[in-house]
Structure 1
Amino acid sequence: MLLETDGSYHLVGVLENKSNYKLDLSIWTTAYNEDDVQIDTGVANVYGLEPNGKAEFQGRITNKDMHSYKISRLVIQYEEDSDRFRQSEIDL
């Protein structure tokens, strides 16, 4: 996590695809103030992550009162075969 000059927070991470499918991913972050009250959410997307591949994701929290954050949800989409499309949502 990097603090930007405008007071926002830049979140950076790496995802690794250990499946046999090409994945589209949405990574949700939730920010909290010092009283542990939710004050902001953000989402970063990664499209077309190849099997056994890695990809960087980036997000931004603009609320300057952020005290802590967590990765709160991961949405995974993939095409199982030409007729079936799958989506999984994981609350963390």
Structure 2
Amino acid sequence: MAKTTMRQMLEAGVHFGHQTRYWNPKMGPFIFGKRNNIHIINLEHSLPMFNDALNFVGKIASKKGRIMFVGTKRAAQDAIREDAERAGMPYV
């Protein structure tokens, strides 16, 4: 399974979190700072965990397991549906 790089995550905007007034204190170790009242996610902490999750999902897929695609935001609905249908997997 291909590894995701820090550059890819930055280009995708993964480091932009939620507004600073909406946060869970348990996320503290993963927050790098804030800018314009938006938390900036520390990708040095997130990247290894993301790659672990990617490998885990890859193992499930390689064993013909089922993976549920979930997209709760309107902006993601079409992409979630299209990719889930392409993979023959369920989606919400």
Q: TM-score, normalised by structure 2?
A: 0.22
Structure whose residues are more often strand by fraction: 1
Structure whose residues are more often helix by fraction: 2
